[in-house]
Amino acid sequence: MQFQLTDELIKQVELFIEQENDKELKTLLDEFHYADIAEILDELNLDQAVYVIKLLDSETTSDILTELDEDNREKVLKNLSAKEIAEEVEELDSDDAADIIAELPEARQQAVISQIEDEEHKAEITELLTYEEDTAGSLMAKELVKVYETWTVAGCMRRIRGQAKEVTRVHSIYVVNKEEKLIGRLSLKDLIVAKSEQKIADLVKVNVDYVNVEEDVEEVAKVMAKYDLEAIPVVDENKTLLGRITIDDIVDVLKEEAEKDYQMAAGITGDVDSDDSILELTRARLPWLFLGLVGGIGAFLIMEGFQDTFKTYAVLFFFTPLIAAMAGNVGVQSSAIIVQGLANDDVKGSINSRLIKEMLLAALNGLILAIFLFFFVWVSKGEMNTAFAISVSLVAVIIVAGLIGTFVPLFLNKRGIDPAIATGPFITTSNDILGILLYFWIAKMILGI
Amino acid sequence: MQFQLTDELIKQVELFIEQENDKELKTLLDEFHYADIAEILDELNLDQAVYVIKLLDSETTSDILTELDEDNREKVLKNLSAKEIAEEVEELDSDDAADIIAELPEARQQAVISQIEDEEHKAEITELLTYEEDTAGSLMAKELVKVYETWTVAGCMRRIRGQAKEVTRVHSIYVVNKEEKLIGRLSLKDLIVAKSEQKIADLVKVNVDYVNVEEDVEEVAKVMAKYDLEAIPVVDENKTLLGRITIDDIVDVLKEEAEKDYQMAAGITGDVDSDDSILELTRARLPWLFLGLVGGIGAFLIMEGFQDTFKTYAVLFFFTPLIAAMAGNVGVQSSAIIVQGLANDDVKGSINSRLIKEMLLAALNGLILAIFLFFFVWVSKGEMNTAFAISVSLVAVIIVAGLIGTFVPLFLNKRGIDPAIATGPFITTSNDILGILLYFWIAKMILGI
């Protein structure tokens, strides 16, 4: 199994393409899983990738398409006719098929759909395309094994043999009544262990988890992770069974969410990766840097306002990067803990008790750091007064930074805004400015200047 | 299904406990999934939680224990006897059982194991406890459905009916030869669709993914996510089948990894959450703040060193927070992209080409920001020379910050160190100091002082 994407392998594939040695190329690629072939294609140029896609049979290439890097898939699809894309899509489960079609330009979507020969598949895909992004409907597949409560185990097994051929993996068998409403579920194991004359109605587990078709995918992920589910049925408001979501799609959702949050904390917006173009990366990074620049100009204006003090207490100005760094770091720590707690539904109790806890925590951290700083300044500069002023300011700055870091994500969350935007540059920048202002103000007061 | 943890519900549970109204309490809790009951218990005090655990039957409470918050579980287990814990553990799959026992103090582990009555279960748990943390062995369960290649479908179905009762979910049926070596797998679906007189050897899919028992769990997660697997068999170096890992455990691994990386980027070490004590949170946060303090002192020393040069250019000092912030932000952005790319095996090609790309990217971003800053300083201060010096320094600082942000995680990764430690405070602090040094040095050169 342990597939290794080596330079030799890619060179070998490129050579076979150049020689148009289709037989050897097919033999070579047939050894690999479609996800591995997708990795190889991601390394080839567009012409080479299209060559391979047109060479292999559509059962394999349809799966390869779903695994390709999004940018590369877009380019490859541009090089295929509507008819060719329709053939690929016929091989896929309805959810993967709908995902691929959804990425096409509007005009092409209709062209491809009209070329799909299987009428049932066409109707399923068309239905899936109607659901909004990031809802359960947009993630679900129509393929599932469904039985009616009135059937017997033996009848059930016969029908499952028929239905199961179309369904890649049978997780659960969903039991519906004659109005197609979800009643419960059965596992294949239950069926196998049961006697063939037993009625489904006697075996069905009615305590079944389900999600509404309009539910947010993050919520679906939370439910499935919490209850350790491998598949969950999707229903409409009348509890009519519409489809199912499987755990492998949820794994992808969790990974994407984690990457998005991580990037947001680092001041990167949009879904970029290290292989994107310089222009795409600039678009994702520049806005946050610009925010930092504006914050820096704010800090400049504050310091300019205090410049008269500079003549006698230049040393105060030399500690502004320290103050800004501490304010930023404490703010990011506090907000990260809150953002994560909110994501896990871990943050209970009132905002006030949170703020009091963070204040105590910041005070403790601040005090320890301030004592260290006090002795450093006292010993190195020999000015106890200055040392005292700087240290007291530091404690105050850290407490305020902690409170802002705690309050902002809680506030955003209450307003229905994703609190993750609060970590990273946003909190760093506002804490920088506020911290420096507070620092000069307190120091000035203590030094009596 | 939609379970809501409300204050009313918790008050109701607390009231029943106070009244020792066991009947009503049981009726109330029986409605809920064990994961929901665990959420309720996490809100109760220790005595109340232990009361509920002792009230409910061990089939439910064993599952509840696995879902409790780690700190709470530790406390509850302290209040149970070795015998009582052994009874809970008997109800669990081997992997969950081993996880619970592994959390106990050494001395208690032996006491609990010796009280387990089921000899096979005891042996399995003891085996699982021998595997190192974060290896496939530490995550796998011993429960699986195994058949021999020489069997027929009919014989197979009979045996599966027996084995399946002990296995919560049948994902795959693993086929072994008479030396217990993994040969391939079968799905339940394949068996159901097959004819009863067929030989397993004719049906088995030999192209089966597997992992070595000593493989890192992150690697296992990558393989399972890439190939959309719901379970993967675990083997030793002789390919002897030892156990299996299921996707629900991988979902937990992915979530933990994401949280760890997110916290690390925010300057928090150790696995803390917002409900932990102030002391635990301080221990996780203070070291990084201290690093920031040391960095700030470094920046102070640099600025002090330049103070004579700049008696006439105080304005330069007012821009140090801006310079430090930009250096920090660019560094964090660059390192975050690289860290994520490394985690996804997306970073291919040489370090040099990465550094060149990042240099161009940083130069582009830096130039845009510097032009803006140039006009701001020129217009507001009326000094074109100063404006020019500050802007040129900014571009240089941004380029160097980007290069460091790219190089450090790549370097750490080559050395086998987790590159995630490079994002966050580590890169911010070093970029702060270096950025300020570079800034003063270049400004001094341009201004000719």
Cβ neighbours of A275 in B, within 8 Å: 341, 346
What pLDDT, on the 0 to 100 scale, is given for residue A58? Answer: 83
C-alpha–C-alpha distance, residues A239 and A181, integer Å: 5
Q: Which tokens hold the place of A322?
A: 């320290």
Cβ neighbours of A254 in B, within 8 Å: 251, 254-255, 258
What pLDDT, on the 0 to 100 scale, is given for residue A167? Answer: 63
Q: How would you classify residue B383: left for phi > 0, otherwise alpha for psi between -120 and 50, otherwise beta?
A: beta
Contact (Cβ atoms closer than 8 angstroms) between residue A390 and residue A380: no
Inter-chain CB proximity A230 and B225 less than 8 Å: no
The minimum CA-CA distance between B160 and chain A, rounded to whole Å, is 9
What pLDDT, on the 0 to 100 scale, is given for residue A348? Answer: 67
Cβ neighbours of B267 in A, within 8 Å: 329, 332-333
The minimum CA-CA distance between A367 and chain B, rounded to whole Å, is 11
Asked if residue B350 has pLDDT above 80, the reply is: no
What pLDDT, on the 0 to 100 scale, is given for residue B65? Answer: 93
C-alpha–C-alpha distance, residues B440 and A311, integer Å: 19
What pLDDT, on the 0 to 100 scale, is given for residue B191? Answer: 80
Encode pLDDT of A128-179 as tens digits: 999 998 999 999 999 888 889 999 988 888 877 777 666 666 678 899 999 9
Out of A116-120, A397-401, B56-60, B101-105, pick the least confident: B56-60
Among B292, B303, B365, select the one facing A282 at the smallest CB separation.
B365
Burial of A108 (0-12, 13-18, 19+ CB in 10 A): middle
Q: pLDDT over 70 for what percent of chain A? A: 97
Encode pLDDT of B147-182 as tens digits: 899 999 888 888 777 776 666 666 788 999 999 999
Selected residue of B185, B214, B308, B337 to mutate for chain A interface (largest A Cβ count, 10 A) = B337
Encode pLDDT of B351-405 as tens digits: 788 888 888 999 999 999 999 999 999 998 888 999 999 999 999 999 999 999 9
Among A227, A297, A361, select the one facing B281 at the smallest CB separation.
A361
Inter-chain CB proximity B329 and A289 less than 8 Å: yes
Asked if residue A388 has pLDDT above 70, the reply is: yes
Among A160, A258, A340, select the one facing B273 at the smallest CB separation.
A340
Asked if residue A331 has pLDDT above 70, the reply is: yes
Inter-chain CB proximity A165 and B193 less than 8 Å: yes
Asked if residue A116 has pLDDT above 60, the reply is: yes
The full set of domain ranges for chain A reads 7-133, 145-247, 278-447
Inter-chain CB proximity B332 and A266 less than 8 Å: yes
Question: For residue B37, what pLDDT band results from cuts at 50, 70 and 90?
Answer: very high
Which ipTM score applies to this complex? 0.81
Cα–Cα distance list, B382 to A294, A302, B263, B376, B378 (Å): 19, 18, 44, 9, 5
Mean pLDDT of A200-225: 90
Identify any residues that bridge with B173 across adjacent strands, giving them in sequence order: B145, B186
Mean pLDDT of B427-435: 90
Would you call A136 an interface residue with chain B, using a CB distance cutoff of 8 Å?
no
Question: For residue A19, what pLDDT band results from cuts at 50, 70 and 90?
Answer: very high
What pLDDT, on the 0 to 100 scale, is given for residue A164? Answer: 63
The minimum CA-CA distance between B435 and chain A, rounded to whole Å, is 11
Residues 50-109 (A) with a CB less than 8 A from some CB of B: none
Cβ neighbours of A290 in B, within 8 Å: 369, 372
Asked if residue A343 has pLDDT above 90, the reply is: no
The minimum CA-CA distance between B325 and chain A, rounded to whole Å, is 6
Mean pLDDT of B213-218: 93
Mean pLDDT of chain A: 89
Among A5, A321, A333, select the one facing B321 at the smallest CB separation.
A321
Inter-chain CB proximity A278 and B337 less than 8 Å: no
Inter-chain CB proximity B432 and A321 less than 8 Å: yes
Query: Looking at the domain covering A145-247, what would its CATH class be?
Result: alpha beta
Nearest CA among A309, A136, A274 for reference residue A212: A136
Q: How many CB pairs under 8 A join A and B?
A: 333
Architecture of domain B278-447: Orthogonal Bundle (1.10)
What pLDDT, on the 0 to 100 scale, is given for residue A103? Answer: 92
**Cα angle value A100/A102/A104 (rounded, 5°):** 80
Rg (CA), chain A: 30
Q: Tell me which chain A residue has its CA closest to the CA of residue B157.
A: A192
What pLDDT, on the 0 to 100 scale, is given for residue A449? Answer: 76
The minimum CA-CA distance between B56 and chain A, rounded to whole Å, is 19
Mean pLDDT of A97-126: 93
Inter-chain CB proximity B258 and A263 less than 8 Å: no
- Reported in sequence order, the residue ranges of B261-309 that DSSP labels E, i.e. its strands, are none
Mean pLDDT of A103-121: 92
Residues 389-428 (A) with a CB less than 8 A from some CB of B: 423-425, 428
What pLDDT, on the 0 to 100 scale, is given for residue B348? Answer: 67
Inter-chain CB proximity A169 and B189 less than 8 Å: yes
Q: Pick the residue with more confidence: A69 or A398?
A: A398
Helix (H) or strand (E) holding B115: helix B106-115
Q: Tell me which chain B residue has its CA closest to the CA of residue A34.
A: B227
Encode pLDDT of A219-270 as tens digits: 999 899 888 888 999 999 999 999 999 988 888 888 888 888 888 888 888 7
Encode pLDDT of B243-300 as tens digits: 999 988 888 888 888 888 888 888 888 777 777 888 888 888 999 999 999 999 999 9
Inter-chain CB proximity B325 and A432 less than 8 Å: yes
Asked if residue A1 has pLDDT above 60, the reply is: no
Cβ neighbours of A196 in B, within 8 Å: none
With a CB cutoff of 8 Å and minimum separation 6, the contacts of A83 are A115
Residues 41-60 (A) with a CB less than 8 A from some CB of B: 43
Residues 226-285 (A) with a CB less than 8 A from some CB of B: 226-228, 230, 247-248, 250-252, 254-255, 257-259, 261-263, 265-268, 272-275, 278, 281-282, 285
Asked if residue B188 has pLDDT above 80, the reply is: no
Mean pLDDT of A6-22: 91
**Cα angle value A164/A168/A174 (rounded, 5°):** 55
Architecture of domain B145-253: Roll (3.10)
Inter-chain CB proximity B266 and A332 less than 8 Å: yes
Cβ neighbours of A5 in B, within 8 Å: 348
Residues 314-353 (A) with a CB less than 8 A from some CB of B: 314-315, 317-326, 328-330, 332-333, 335-338, 340-341, 344, 346-348
Cβ neighbours of B333 in A, within 8 Å: 266-268, 285, 288-289
Cβ neighbours of A265 in B, within 8 Å: 262, 265-266, 336
What pLDDT, on the 0 to 100 scale, is given for residue A168? Answer: 63
What pLDDT, on the 0 to 100 scale, is given for residue B433? Answer: 92
Cα–Cα distance list, A233 to A213, A357, B230, B384 (Å): 9, 41, 17, 67
Mean pLDDT of chain B: 89
What pLDDT, on the 0 to 100 scale, is given for residue A15? Answer: 93
Domain A145-247 and domain A278-447, same fold? Reply is: no
- Find out if CATH 3.40.50.300 is the number for domain B7-133: no
